[in-house]
A = this chain, B = another copy of it.
Amino acid sequence: MAGSRRSFNSDNVAPVAPEVMAALARVNHGTVHSYGDDPETVRLGALLRECFETELSAYAVATGTAANALALATLVPPYGAVLCHELAHINTDECGAPEFYSGGAKLMALPGAGAKLGAAQLAGPVAHARAMGVHHVTPAAVSVSQATEWGRVYQRDELAELSAAAHGLGLAVHMDGARFGNALAHLRCSPAEATWKCGVDVLSFGATKNGALAAEAVVFFKPELAQAFELRRKRAGHLWSKSRYLSAQLNALLEGGLWLRHASHANALATRLAQGLGRHGIRLVQPVEANEVFAAMPAALVAHLHAQGFEFYEWPAPPGERSPVVRLVTAFDMAEGDVDAFIAAVAGHAAR
């Protein structure tokens, strides 16, 4: 078991994919214009248009928090609101970035199983807000995480219904796709079918968790929404001077579909892990649809696994769950052996 990868903390503990490192090396010669006026950045636009089979405006930034917050600030006025799930990363893990970037807009947090929003949840809060007139912030967008914070994936019809409801209410639709690749690998449809064809207006296309060094793309499927994005990005210090090195990461993952192979691999390992845990009586608290496994585990087992050097987070349990819950995240750089080693350690504890 020596040498096995023992961290299931998050997909961002992984290193950078060799193809991405190679791309950085490949572009590392000579002078090119800075601040986005370089061939790699031009090519990024082309690759994304090809990938999503449509016209679009796309901008690279280094982090998911920046991608989400800048996207939302472009969609929502300071006196506006974003409807999202109460467990949404933008609501719980970004230290108020959407509020900061928007100039004080509000997140209106809604409940929902699997950290999913349903189409029927939007009309009520929006009607209430509008009935309040100037006394209430104005809902202007809905943001969904795909895959969700419980590792679930919106089906295309769920998403299409949600978007239709949102648009019917005058809300733009943002997708936090920090794990968009993992969601798409589960859906087995085209990127277009999973986004703009389902009504998504703006996508935070995640790459860092999927093999990049530090790169995400904000993709506007309605380019007219993007007008102010570039100024906001610069003003936030998220426009790289040596932009080729940001775009090249994304290009390396987009080319030949590496991003999807990475995501499919991570998903398959999560499924393997879930099945292995199941064989040893470990109960999942959510179905596994992407690359995250949420399992209820006795505290003694958690302690045993930590003692064996495995790293993973205990997770806030869903309502009604009495056992400790852990989150196990697989990634593109893991091997089946890494997962099997974890399962073996679980088995070892069970056998005692």
- CB within 8 Å of B: which of A95-120? 95-97, 99-100, 102-107
A241 with B79, Cβ < 8 A, contacts A7-B31, A106-B96, A138-B231 known: no
B31 and A63 contact, CB distance less than 8 A: no
Would you call A123 an interface residue if the criterion is a C-beta within 8 Å of the partner chain's C-beta atoms? no
Contact of A240 among B77, B214, B230 (CB under 8 A): B214
A97 neighbours in B (Cβ, 8 Å) = 234-237
Interface string of A43-83 (1 = CB under 8 A from B): 00000000000000000011111111110000001110100
Interchain nearest-CB distance for A88 vs B (Å): 13
Interchain nearest-CB distance for A89 vs B (Å): 9
B103 and A230 contact, CB distance less than 8 A: no
B31 and A134 contact, CB distance less than 8 A: no
Interface string of A83-94 (1 = CB under 8 A from B): 000000000111
A16 neighbours in B (Cβ, 8 Å) = 24, 28, 242, 245
B134 and A35 contact, CB distance less than 8 A: yes
B134 and A234 contact, CB distance less than 8 A: yes
A237 with B239, Cβ < 8 A, contacts A5-B30, A35-B134 known: no
B13 and A32 contact, CB distance less than 8 A: yes
A138 to B316, CA, bound (A): 19
A25 to B21, CA, bound (A): 7
Interface size band for A: 35 or more
B100 and A96 contact, CB distance less than 8 A: no
Interchain nearest-CB distance for A283 vs B (Å): 24
A240 to B215, CA, bound (A): 10
B104 and A100 contact, CB distance less than 8 A: yes
B34 and A10 contact, CB distance less than 8 A: yes
A13 to B36, CA, bound (A): 11
B136 and A95 contact, CB distance less than 8 A: yes
A93 neighbours in B (Cβ, 8 Å) = 132, 135-136
Interface string of A5-31 (1 = CB under 8 A from B): 111011011111000010011011111
A241 neighbours in B (Cβ, 8 Å) = 10, 12, 63-64, 208-209, 214
In the complex, residue of chain B having the shortest beta-carbon distance to the beta carbon of A25? B21
B24 and A213 contact, CB distance less than 8 A: yes
A6 to B30, CA, bound (A): 10
A81 to B68, CA, bound (A): 20
In the complex, residue of chain B having the shortest beta-carbon distance to the beta carbon of A27? B15
B230 and A242 contact, CB distance less than 8 A: no
A-B contact pairs, 19 of them (CB 8 A): A10-B241, A15-B31, A21-B25, A62-B62, A63-B237, A78-B78, A78-B96, A79-B95, A93-B136, A95-B137, A95-B235, A97-B235, A99-B99, A99-B105, A100-B103, A100-B235, A106-B107, A134-B230, A134-B231
